[in-house]
Amino acid sequence: MSYLIWFSSHNKYDELKIIELKSLLETFGYYCNISLNGEELNLKKNKYAGETYIKINKLKENVSIENIWENALSRSILIKGVIEIWGEGYTYNELLANLKAKNDLFESTLNNKKWCFHFHAYGKIINQEEKVKKMDMFNIYVEKYKNIDILNPHVQLAIFEEYDKESKGILNKIYFGKCIALRKFNPSLIYNKDNNKHACSSNKKECDNCNNDVNEKKKVENNNRKTWWAHYALNKRRILGPTTTDNELAFIMCNIAKIKKGDIVLDPFVGSGGLLIASSVFNAICIGNDIDIRLLKGYKLSYLNPRMKHKSNKKTIFENFKQYNLNSPEILVSDNSNPVWNFFHKPWVDAIVTDPPYGNRATVRMSIKTEIPPKTNKIENENLRHITNDSISNNYVDALQNNSNYIGNSEATDNIIVSNSVAEPSNNDKMSKVKSLINTKTVTYSCALAVKDLLTIASKTLVDNGMLVFLFPVQFETMQEEMEILKHEDLYLISYGMQEFTDYSGRLIVAMQRKPRIY
């Protein structure tokens, strides 16, 4: 049996439709021969742009395919529906003749069940009168099934017409079949709808979460077409940060990473926690780290959502997890250029999903160690501060960026210590003042080096076949050269989809997979 996959129109993430579909099917145990766009990225001609569909064949006969499609669609951001194809043809006469041998399908599907038609046309607007005429053509097969219910059907029979995009009005093909799953008006496809109810032991009238949930419920009741992920939209979160991953993109990245219940997910650039919220919605065990404690603690950078009522002024990223009744992640303050993870242990991370900072609003930073002398005269201290903050930091970062042999662990950072050469303290003084002498500061370094560090962490911590999904900014003119950094001996490059920002720049949504280890 063949299936028609109906995609929604999404200008930002059209190139992610196929990889999200393939990843979700594999997540639920169904492997199919869906081909991606190919190795060469076509920036201007994406054949999956706009509202479109693809046809795939069933490979396994012993799989409960309907449950797999329903599970996949319940999590997908870019799929609108799945149709089981019963017949197809270039004309209605050809299609009707093709359905003559399918009477048993009509009997087993429609007998004693409420049903209706679902009509859709690609490339042309069909008025209601013409739709009814075309539906009536199938009366020879369905007229004996009288239990028709347009509002609450058990089964929907799909009629899909494909018109030529260039020559409007020319009918290319017609598909007929059973709707396995359609997102429109289908509450059963709302993912995790009952798992994030707020548990409140206080007076509900005084509870901010309860008040916000009531307002949200009223909005949902007034809008039946509301998608489940809109509940987690950035403008509905209690705490907002300066740069948070787009809500839809976060869920798409988690789908590509094949995250499922019980998986351990790591975000090495956790920031305001947007990607970990999406992972937690999928019931993953979340761990993250970031070098900037201000984001994690909410110092100056984070702020309260002005559209919501707030009983507390706490601005930590954990407040958003509490808002949705999600398990709080474990967060560390650490530097990815000098990882805190013990690489000699057995690999333990199922997926890494992250968005390395870049651009003017957020930069990648690394820490260096500087030692400040306990007592020097004022002139010496000023000179030392000038050397530490400017010369050493900038020269060190420049050396890293120009060093082609740099691996990624940045072990040289341990040796960057600025000391007073005038007087050397005794051993006792060193022991008593070692903590006060070491002052850790951060400096910026390139996004390319941050990606190298990320690939190193992924190769060491990911389990076999574990997924790494991250965002990688590129300039179109130098994109092929920049993508050379994605070649790693321990990782497969699975896919990369482009999201354009300007005519000359954009970012890749990169998916990589850990190669199985040979022991």
Distance separating alpha carbons of residues 278 and 280, to the nearest angstrom: 5
Q: What are the residue boundaries of the structural domains of the chain, listed by start? A: 2-189, 365-445
Q: What is the pLDDT of residue 122?
A: 87
Alpha carbons 373 and 423: distance in angstroms, whole number: 9
pLDDT value of position 463: 98
Instruction: With beta carbons less than 8 A apart as the criterion, state whether 264 and 348 touch.
Output: yes
- Given a cut of 70, the residues of the chain with pLDDT beneath it are 33-51, 58-63, 185-225, 359-445
Place of tokens 């009223």: 218
What's the confidence (pLDDT) of residue 448? 85
Closest C-alpha to 352, from 490, 476, 237, 189:
490
HSE-up of 53 (CA within 13 Å, CB side)? 24
d(C-alpha 276, C-alpha 114), whole Å: 41
pLDDT of residue 370: 54
What is the pLDDT, as a whole number, of residue 46? 58
Contacts of residue 318, Cβ cutoff 8 Å, sequence gap at least 6: 328, 329
> What DSSP string runs through 145-201?
---B-SSS-SEEEEEEEEE-SSSTT-EEEEEEEEEEEE-TT-GGG-TTTTS-PPP--
CB 376 within 8 A of CB 288: no
Q: Is 2-189 assigned to CATH 3.40.50.170? A: no
Return the pLDDT at 403: 44
pLDDT for 371: 53
Give this prediction's pTM. 0.80
Number of DSSP helices (H) and strands (E) in the chain, helices first: 16, 17
Residues 33-90 pLDDT 10s: 665 443 333 333 456 666 688 888 765 655 678 888 999 999 999 999 999 999 999 9
128 φ/ψ angles, rounded to the nearest 5 degrees:
-65, -40
For residue 435, the tally of other CB atoms under 10 A from its CB is 7
